[in-house]
Amino acid sequence: MKPLTCMIVDDEPLAVRLLESYVEKTPDLQLMASYTDSITAINAIKEQKPDLVFLDIQMPNIDGMELAHSLPEQTRVVFATAFKEYAFESYEVEALDFLLKPVRYNKFLAAVEKAKKSHQPPAATQPQQPNTFFIRVDGEWRNIAIDQIIYVNGMKDYVLFYLDGEKKPLISHLTMKAVEEMLPADKFLRIHRSYIVAVDKIQKVDRNDCVYIGEEIIHIPDGYRQVFNQLLGTRSIDKKSTPLER
């Protein structure tokens, strides 16, 4: 994250120097300018648009509260004042913080952290994984709940879906590749050229590399053993050994 730019506006030179010293020792904070005159300050702020302004309230010409109402939209305000009675008014301009003089560095630093968070871009939202999908079965479209799938078995040009609560599998004209791409990778694993299983529905794995799931016993070929072994490593309490280790 690039440094936050800031300005200091206070008609008291001692207060300005104190805040300048705080800015100097604060990482990711860059001072653009300091002003003791509010009229000069408002013109500079509108032109340069700093990320943050440390602003006194009681000043000649334009007071800090008036100045705050004139700031660019992206510029946030932290008030630094000796008068706590202005605290309520600071909410009207959506000030990030309200610091009482003499300002302590820990309070200053907390205000800067609030400013950093306010300037962070919103986290990108991931598209939500659907809970169901449709497959064509005997000329009809069936809506299947993903959590209902126990395992999938591929047979030539068809795929059999074995589901909780269904006595017979649903048969659809699909490829295993298409089904594998459709199912969420965090819940399903291909353990055989012809089988994709719901990881949470595996009952056990025996010493012969056979997976017991539903009514099926599936032997894991060499080409799929490493991926399955990695899965067991992440889910096993005993990290020293897994059933498929050689």
Does the reported pTM lie above 0.75?
no
Both tokens assigned to 42: 């408002």
42-56 CB burial, b ≥16 within 10 A, e <16: bebbeeeebbbbbbb
Q: What is the mean pLDDT of residues 15-35?
A: 96
- How far is it, in rounded angstroms, from Cα 83 to Cα 11? 14
pLDDT tens track for 123-174? 666 667 778 999 999 999 999 999 999 999 999 889 999 999 898 999 999 9
Those residues whose C-beta lies under 8 Å from the C-beta of residue 93, and which sit 6 or more positions away, are 65, 68, 69, 77
Structural contact between residues 190 and 177, judged by C-beta atoms closer than 8 angstroms: no
Task: Enumerate residues 6+ apart whose C-beta is below 8 A from 218.
Answer: 151, 191, 192, 195, 197, 210, 211
